Amino acid sequence: MIPRALLLGAALTTIALPTGAEPLPAPIAALERQGLSIHDSFEAPGGLTGYAGSYQGRELAAYLLADGEHVIVGTLQDAAGNDLSAAPLERLVRAPQDAETWAELEQSAWIADGDDAAERVVYVFTDTRCPYCDAFWAAARPWVEAGRVQLRHIMVGVLSSQSPREAVALLASDDPAAALADHQAGGEIAPLERLPRELEEAIYANQQLMHGLGIMATPGILYRQGELVELAQGLPDEQAMETVMGSPRPPIE
């Protein structure tokens, strides 16, 4: 494991990378061999060259000293205590990774709840047997009905043996959005005699995506703040709801 702060000494040599890539200085290549993924380099103060990396899902910055022979891994701060590592890591590591995550969410099996023209999209991992999912659905009505937010319910079946069958039934209905709304209003989900194989696989893929994102409970809510994807797990409180929805609660007309 790469510690928070690490000082390495190495001879001033380089390691050849694939054709078209710049060779890495030996200290940076040594970090790569230890498991640090290098995403890009950036200019840093004090004659340092910064390298934006990640290790086991965590963003890390490495700073090559001016001598080219030593590297420090950690957070660079100025005299006022400002974190100078956060912005380049956000721009070079997290933002591209979050763009890939958002694309995966878009390609999952979800049910739209709200206007397709809504300015904000919020993805929600939803289980039909989850009371907190029901509560989130109800709490989101003002934003959805005002046309500000479209919820995209990524259906999973993790809470009950009936959850996967019900999730498939909703996706297989003629109007999934209406079927989900009816379920939220207390309606029964009509069982299917035969579950379409492709939808069973879609539910399984949704669950793999959910677990891959480290979401352990429903609702698992993902939304964008600028270029970054943020996660809220469980039912948000009123203040958190406004953050998730991207605006204050709309007035009731």
| Residues 6 or more apart in contact with residue 187 via CB below 8 angstroms | none
Bond from prior residue into 27 cis (ω within 30 degrees of 0): no
How big is the CA angle at 109 (ends 231 and 174), to the nearest 5 degrees? 130
Q: 253: pLDDT confidence band, cut at 50, 70 and 90?
A: low
Residues in the chain: 253
Give the position of tokens 């979050």: 98
Per-residue confidence (pLDDT) for residue 21, from 0 to 100: 58
Max intra-chain CA distance, the chain? 71
Say if CB 111 and CB 152 are below 8 A apart.
yes
Give the position of tokens 């893929």: 205
Asked whether the predicted pLDDT for residue 9 surpasses 50, the reply is no
Q: Percent of the chain, pLDDT > 90?
A: 85
Neighbours of 94 (CB within 10 A): 19
How big is the CA angle at 126 (ends 125 and 132), to the nearest 5 degrees? 115
Q: What is the residue-averaged pLDDT of the chain?
A: 89
pLDDT digits (tens, 9 = 90+) for 11-58: 222 333 343 457 899 999 999 999 999 999 999 999 999 999 999 888
How far, in Å, CA of 181 to CA of 79, rounded? 55
pLDDT digits (tens, 9 = 90+) for 135-154: 999 999 999 999 999 999 99
Greater confidence (74 vs 4) lies with 74
Say if CB 43 and CB 109 are below 8 A apart.
no
Neighbours of 89 (CB within 10 A): 22
User: What residues does 7 pair with on adjacent strands?
Assistant: 72
- CA end-to-end span of the chain: 56
Q: pTM surpassing 0.75?
A: yes
| Residues 6 or more apart in contact with residue 138 via CB below 8 angstroms | 184
Say if CB 125 and CB 156 are below 8 A apart.
yes
14, 42, 50, 88, 140 from 84: Cα distances, Å = 27, 12, 10, 8, 37
pLDDT digits (tens, 9 = 90+) for 80-119: 999 999 999 999 999 999 999 999 999 999 999 999 999 9
Per-residue confidence (pLDDT) for residue 194, from 0 to 100: 87
Say if CB 154 and CB 110 are below 8 A apart.
yes
Per-residue confidence (pLDDT) for residue 195, from 0 to 100: 86
How far, in Å, CA of 231 to CA of 168, rounded? 25
Q: 130: pLDDT confidence band, cut at 50, 70 and 90?
A: very high
Q: How do beta strands 220-225 and 149-156 pair? A: unpaired
Domains of the chain, first to last: 6-96 (3.10.450.70), 108-245 (3.40.30.10)
How far, in Å, CA of 48 to CA of 67, rounded? 9
